[in-house]
Amino acid sequence: MSWRGPRFGRGADDRPATDPETDIAARPAAGGADSALADASDGRRMRLTGLHHVTVICRDLERTTTFYRDVLGLALVRETVNDDDPLTRHFYFGDARGSPGTLISFLEYPTLPDGVVGAGSTHHFAFAVDSSDEQLAWIDYLRGRGVDCTDVFDRGAFRSIYVRDPDGHIVEIATREPGLLPDA
């Protein structure tokens, strides 16, 4: 496997560092491609417990801060640099405590070309609100500040509105209820 791009905890041979005891991708799948994941889901091995954060690329962290902190109301919880690229600023937004599951971070790359939508890109990310009434208040609030947003889309399991951030990322504000039910 050849690994190119910024350094992300690489081993000595330029591959991502892995621990065969804890890394599903590093373990051979004895019973086929899905067996390692099946082992992870039954609690005997690793398991994912939630979303920690999402990292997005932006051109201008001041403009991004104005949107996510001053318009959407997220706390700017950390201003740092990227550990893998120390010349790149890296800001984290979330709740006031910086709790995992609330975080979105931004890497500032002012001169990168615009992204291309397709496989390997992210379509959108979604924030949650507790009620349809709160979501309607967001529409009024955003439009009152000159921020374009959609009308409500009823998705059955939840309701959604959409807005674009200063770099064009699609940001969804979705209701928590009624929620998705697992397929039977």
CA torsion sign, 161 to 97 to 46 to 184? Answer: negative
pLDDT tens, residue by residue, 114-154: 988 899 899 999 999 999 999 999 999 999 999 999 999 99
6-15, 97-106, 116-125, 164-173: which has the minimum mean pLDDT? 6-15
130 & 183 share domain = yes
Q: Taking the model in full, what pTM does it have? A: 0.74
Total tally of structural domains belonging to the chain: 2
154 & 98 share domain = no
In angstroms, the CA 143 to CA 15 distance is 47
DSSP-derived pairing of the beta strands 159-164 and 103-108: unpaired
Of 112, 138, 160, the one marking the end of a domain is 112
93 & 69 share domain = yes
With respect to residue 104, please indicate whether it lies within any of the assigned structural domains. yes
Backbone angles phi, psi at 137, to 5 degrees: -65, -35
User: Which structural domain range is residue 78 located in?
Assistant: 50-112
Check: CB of residue 61 under 8 Å from CB of residue 108.
yes
Q: Find the CATH number of the domain harbouring 108.
A: 3.10.180.10
Question: Residue 44: how many CB atoms within 10 A of its CB?
Answer: 9
